[in-house]
Structure 1
């Protein structure tokens, strides 16, 4: 969530920001038409009134600021723009308006974020559709390598995932640490996302740099619906790089249902601790 500073250079500039935040079009017009305050007045972080109005979703105020000469593509200290904030909050009408006046999809925040990455992360499907139609790059990546698809998978946003895949997103594109969208969805327990990714060819047995697979993580977390989806595609049940298995993870976490699912899928019980497995299976 973005927090805007309230200290402006002058009382009139402060009033402009207040009007933009509250959607008070009459006051905003009065102030801007006075000629005593600029449409691009900004706070100490470089936030403009246009960014505030876009974040708040006040269409008419956004339009007024643009018509008064506000810089659509100005970036605040963090690199965020009016388009970024409107996309983050899901204000698709404002996003459309900004595009009508030349908003760019290429500008990035300091962490590499774009309007598409933040819209995908927040599950703003209507905005994602507009961004893609206006040239947003489905292969955008944050500084850590996370793609829009990865961020949507992390948040469990199935509709956005389908949109991104239809636009050419790479289903197995991992972050710099080797974490793929499927692995992240499995960890978060998003079974429907896991299903969609698997159907689109996600690598079921891809592991992170630490050697853990999606199945291992789902077993560790006790996400049984995810385990069921993964088992439908027959992922490997063998040893990981560190000698552990998904069955190990389920046993050590005390997830009886997960253990039963894995045993039914022919996981080798001899690879688990001789004490912990019987103890778990004897629980009432």
Structure 2
């Protein structure tokens, strides 16, 4: 048996070091909101944190700027170990200030509809930035549509139903997605915002639409433990399928079940000057009547016992009496 010197590790070459999981806090600088991100480790990359924050904090990935302790942005490919992030540490999340992005995020996150209307989220808005003044008419329409989609995504995450309704009514794309494939319906389902989900579905959001990881809104609701959202989405799917079913006013005889062929309530039998009445004894499918606890005793067993007695009598040996 191999002996180990004092202080030598007993870990073999095939052993992998145990990874300790912990949580970190992320503070959104524009609003002061604090979000908790669990299941992190020293090997977690900043890019992975950005991807998770798109659902946790409701900020699209291309808007995020993450820093720790100082104001410098952390590289996407760097790890928590490289940046010195410790368990339960607080990471700063900021958005780009250029092109009015910070004001847009702040208004949408706080649900300030009055301020949002003045930030270029509708076609008839007079809001401009130094960048938008250089755009053509077609490019400016795309610029406004992108801002409206961003505001719709953040409002759906925060549960601002009136803001979601306003944006959808003014042409915001309900099918718009982030760079990671998340839509307003995805983030609303993950956060459990049922009223926002109703608004999004009313304007044509697709339940089966998937994100970059192949998850639908129903999948995200299950992963995030939003049972009420699951029930609502299931009910919406059932109603959508039921609306496509058409009922016939007249049924052909070959389409009828046996118990329906003599049913006077069907339109098929309402013909002529006189009504035809039929009576059918319909038995519900249930327990077999013979096995019920209140079922009468079978007569066959009684006969069997009587026959057995007769056979026993006949089988008795006969004794001759002495003459």
Please state which band the TM-score falls in when normalised by the shorter chain.
0.3 to 0.5
TM-score (norm 1): 0.41
